[in-house]
Structure 1
Amino acid sequence: MEKHLQSNAAITAIGTYTPDKILSNADLERMVDTSDEWIVQRTGIQERRIAADDQYTSDLCIRAVRNMQERYGVQVEDVDYIIVATSTPDNVIPSVAAQVQAGLGIKHSGAIDIQAACAGFTSAIQLANGLLLSGVYRKILVIGGETLSKVTNYEDRTTCILFGDGAGAILMEAGTAAEGDILAISSHTEGAGGHHVYRSGLSPSINAADIDTTSRIVQNGREVYKWALSHVSEGITELLRDSGYEPSQINWFVPHNANQRIIDALCDRTGISEQQALSSIERYGNTSAASIPLALDAAVQDGRVLPGHLLLLYGFGGGLTQSGVLLRWSI
């Protein structure tokens, strides 16, 4: 379902964080039957970041917000709402968003987690946009954060090569200049295919230290690849068509970074130039809900993304769910 929006909600700041520890392809060669050449050829990944044993998703999310504050000088103590997209919460209860609220010293705000897997960040933007347009809220933190290394089976060479940890945060505010508008959104879910990507055996835990070590990501990569090429490419084409834009008008395409082969194939099928696609896959691997803000922020920091640029953010993954956001960048 695509919605064309008349909006005055915009992104006003962005920040990211990745852990210090690097897991390279050479490291993985010593762990499982694989090779750097095999991994790069099939995924485009050269390394990924891994959270410390005592570092959890909420820690990464807080660091991403701190990074945003340091760079943009924004205050977050007065945010009205916090939305965290994650598939790897510290606990089932309390939410990561509640832990972020406490960690940042925010006294009065709503706080929720959402779980839309790799479409989580774009889905969270859509929710925040709706809350801001309601007029009830004025300032919302949207965060995508994952510690996928804690639920990765490092004996399964088909999945352990893919996943890394990281977080990205944006501040969304109402009443900003029109050039920063969220222009259009779309979302589609095909739940019948949900068994192709899932997290096994999740048990509630009371403390972060008690995180369920039996829970693992399970993925049928072949089926997910086929779905992405057909259904996700259709979703992207539909969003652009219904919002009145041609692929050539998009300055930057920021897809979920599942792997480089999927990104290249989506570009080919939608008519978006590969030079327009922003990727974080080489350095960070597949970071699920964090992949889009990581790729976007890298391009903001190096000057590729500029105010006035038209951006298409598009998440897709477990569910099987896809969601897109077309926006005009303003910072």
Structure 2
Amino acid sequence: MTATAFIAGTGTALPGEPVDNATLGRALGLSAEWIDLFVGTRSRHFARDLDSGETLGTLASLCARAAAEALERAGLDPADVDFLLLATATPDQLLPTTATQVADLLGLGHLPAYQVQAGCSGALQAVELGRALIAAGASAGLVIGGDVTHRHLDLRPGAARRPAGELVNYVLFGDGAGAAVLTARPCGDRLAVRGVLHRFTGLGRPPGQVVHWYGPGDGAPEGPAVSEDYKAIEEYVPDMAAEAMWETLDVAGWQPADLDYVLPPQLSRHMTRRILDRLELPGVREISCVTDTGNTGNALPFHQLDRLAATARPGERAIVLAVESSKWIRTGAGLEKL
């Protein structure tokens, strides 16, 4: 398949120092061993200090850091950017959009600034939309993904008393941002986007995750702001990832034997292992980061792409997959190093 867009540079941002399982366990009244047994993730970053409550960064500031790094690596200036796309499930405010706040921090004006409201699938949805803008005539654009989930979690002692469907969110997630520069011509990292998949697959199926927002008209909210059906996620996501892999390969015109790298969905270290077993790609190298970053939602695919850009050699091919459990969306993209 002929590429209509190229990834020229990537960037990432994580707030503060890593929070390991022992530190998180002490803060929440949980054992580090239980966290490791449950999700297998070793550390994560929060944009709020667990001891002082100090804010260490907003979503906008993290996204601006990642985007500035991506531009630098691509060798482009802000004046070269024709559009900005930001995917997030956790904007700083409902309005103004975080996309416009990021554009302001980067000194970008008089350009389209779009915001995609989505969970883990949003990063590749943004790549899909950015690719369409490039095909329509744009020369270069910023595609950004990020989430700061700490604002939905009560990170104080006593979490161990919460129901399992709520408690899982306290040990799965972290905060962060990532970005990529899309260009119409190959430059910089020269990763050709050979195909993008985006499929809603939750028709008639209950959500696997729900994130609420409230206003004064709602009265006193009942229940947690975030809830997760982790058993459903464990059951459905590996098969959805396999479906996304085969569909993305078809879109790119590839076979499994054509792949050198797989960037699997990043829910947790244990889930990554289950997904890789289901994908059945012997000899294909894995690029993952969730063990050290936690589940940073829309930032994760960009963190994986950042590692791919530093590793891949000319002619090598990769497939990146993401599955969103809210109302079940599967996404994927084929990439080739030129």
Which TM-score band applies after superposition, normalised by the shorter structure? 0.7 to 0.9
In structure 2, the partner of 1:216 is: 225
In structure 1, the partner of 2:52 is: none
Superposed, which structure 2 residues align to 1:60-75 within 5 Å?
Answer: 60-75=62-77
Secondary structure at the counterpart of residue 15 of structure 2: coil
Partner Cα distance (1:99, 1:277) in 2: 34
1:23 equivalent among 19, 32, 42:
19
Partner Cα distance (1:40, 1:123) in 2: 31
Superposed, which structure 2 residues align to 1:59-208 within 5 Å?
Answer: 59-135=61-137, 137-154=138-155, 155=159, 156=162, 157-176=167-186, 180-191=191-202, 192-193=204-205, 195-203=207-215
1:236 equivalent among 245, 268, 273:
245
Partner Cα distance (2:212, 2:171) in 1: 18
In structure 2, the partner of 1:208 is: none
Change (3 A) 1:71 1:6: closer
Partner Cα distance (2:279, 2:250) in 1: 11
Shift of 1:314: 1.1
User: Which letter does structure 1 place at the counterpart of 2:44?
Assistant: R
Partner Cα distance (2:25, 2:4) in 1: 50
Secondary structure at the counterpart of residue 181 of structure 1: strand
CA contact (8 A) 1:147 1:164 kept: yes
Deviates more, 1:41-50 or 1:194-203: 194-203
- Runs ≥4 residues deviating over 6 A: none
In structure 2, the partner of 1:207 is: none
TM-score with structure 1 setting the length: 0.87
Change (3 A) 1:244 1:90: same
Shift of 1:54: 5.6
Shift of 1:218: 1.3
2:319 equivalent among 296, 306, 312:
312
Q: Percent identity?
A: 26
In structure 2, the partner of 1:265 is: 274
Shift of 1:202: 4.1
Change (3 A) 1:264 1:273: farther
What CA deviation, in whole Å up to 9, does each residue of 1:103-126 have, x standing for no partner?
Answer: 111122100110220011111001
User: Which letter does structure 2 place at the counterpart of 1:159?
Assistant: N
Change (3 A) 1:263 1:84: same
TM-score with structure 2 setting the length: 0.85
Change (3 A) 1:221 1:254: same
Deviates more, 1:228-237 or 1:8-17: 228-237
In structure 1, the partner of 2:285 is: 276
Secondary structure at the counterpart of residue 161 of structure 1: helix
Partner Cα distance (1:170, 1:284) in 2: 18
Partner Cα distance (2:287, 2:266) in 1: 9
Q: What's the Cα RMSD here? A: 2.4
How many pairs does the alignment contain? 314
CA contact (8 A) 2:241 2:322 kept: no
What CA deviation, in whole Å up to 9, does each residue of 1:7-59 have, x standing for no partner?
Answer: 33111111111112332200222233533233223322111011141621111
User: Which letter does structure 1 place at the counterpart of 2:334?
Assistant: L
Secondary structure at the counterpart of residue 10 of structure 2: strand
Deviates more, 1:59-68 or 1:119-128: 59-68
Secondary structure at the counterpart of residue 38 of structure 1: helix
Shift of 1:282: 1.4
Change (3 A) 1:10 1:234: same
